[in-house]
Amino acid sequence: MKTIDSLADLQKVEIYIYKELLRECNNAGVKLYLTGGSLLGAVRHQGFIPWDDDIDVCMSRPDFEKLLQTTKGRIGENCSIIDPGSDTRYKGVVPVCVYNNSYVRSSQFKEDENLKISCSIFVYDGVPEGRLKRFLYYKHMFVLRAKHALCRADFKHVNTKTAKLFGPVLSPFFRKKSVFKYKNKVLKLQTKYPYSESRLVSTNVDYGSQREVVEKVAFEKGIGIQFENTSSKTFSCYKEFLESYYGDYMTPPPIEKQKPKHGFYAEIDDSFAL
């Protein structure tokens, strides 16, 4: 195993994972969309945001289930999908596609969770129709996600002021082993409103899920976009999504904020060409 010394090298591994996942999705007839910072990077930079340290993709719940059934979780020769719903050792709530022979130690967490270099797969489920019902739903999700984080997060390395302020005070009251209890509650609430029966959809477990709510008919209509010289897709309402999430998304943040979200130490097998 060799150490990954730079952000550029980490991005090389992630684009490899992304291309492998994209190929398998195309073969399975599954729509894979860029989302989050990767979508913003594709629009503004035609690839990674220069200081970004991960790739975010998304798909509908039916497509995610189809992908798992078709591939059995194997993505090419070197990658695989970790599904939080079936992997009882994985503490996260967002599925990931990982490079199998790799290792990541993230500063986000109290303990070494023996993670791998990965791309995050945000799965879209149904959302309540009424505004009040939707507000209460996401407040419930926020509380569960907060409790889940309090069991595992290192609050010296978080991104929000609220987490930095309250996390160190509250985390001693949450046991590390309770992370799986809250994980299961999050996953159950995430799928409370079936995708097939809903007009509105969102990833639900993401930090900004309430800002990501879109009409299903617009989400299912994909459009072409380039990412690191790779023909990719995103949902048709991507401009509204970016405006809701980032505001003036074509204007980069100040220099002092142009830095990776996560601190990391990473290794990969010696055969991978960096």
Q: What is the pTM of this model?
A: 0.93
Residue 64 inside a domain? The answer is yes
Domain that holds residue 158: 2-268
Query: Under a CB-based contact definition with an 8 Å cutoff, are residues 36 and 246 in contact?
Result: no
DSSP 8-state code for residue 160: -
Residue 232 inside a domain? The answer is yes
CA dist., res. 30 & res. 95, Å (int): 16
Residue 235 inside a domain? The answer is yes
Residue 273 inside a domain? The answer is no
- First-to-final CA distance of the chain: 12
In tens, the pLDDT along 10-61 reads 999 999 999 999 999 999 999 999 999 999 999 999 999 898 889 999 999 9
Q: What are phi and psi of 228, to 5 degrees?
A: 50, 50
Which residues share a beta bridge with 135? none
Residue 274 inside a domain? The answer is no
* Average pLDDT of the residues in 106-111: 82
Letter string b/e over residues 52-89, b meaning 16 or more CB atoms within 10 A of that residue's CB = bbbbbbbbbbebbbbbbeebebebbebbbbbbbbeeee
Q: Which residue has the tokens 């719903």?
A: 85
Number of domains in the chain: 1
Residue 10 inside a domain? The answer is yes
Residue 68 inside a domain? The answer is yes
DSSP-derived 3-state class of residue 209: helix
Q: What per-residue confidence (pLDDT) applies to 253? A: 84
In tens, the pLDDT along 140-173 reads 999 999 999 898 987 765 566 666 665 666 677 6
Q: What per-residue confidence (pLDDT) applies to 119? A: 97
Nearest-10 crossing angle of helices 238-246, 36-45: 110
**Distance from the Cα of residue 1 to its chain's centroid:** 26
**pLDDT band at residue 189 using 50, 70 and 90 as cut-offs:** very high
Out of 84-93, 146-155, 223-232, least confident range: 146-155
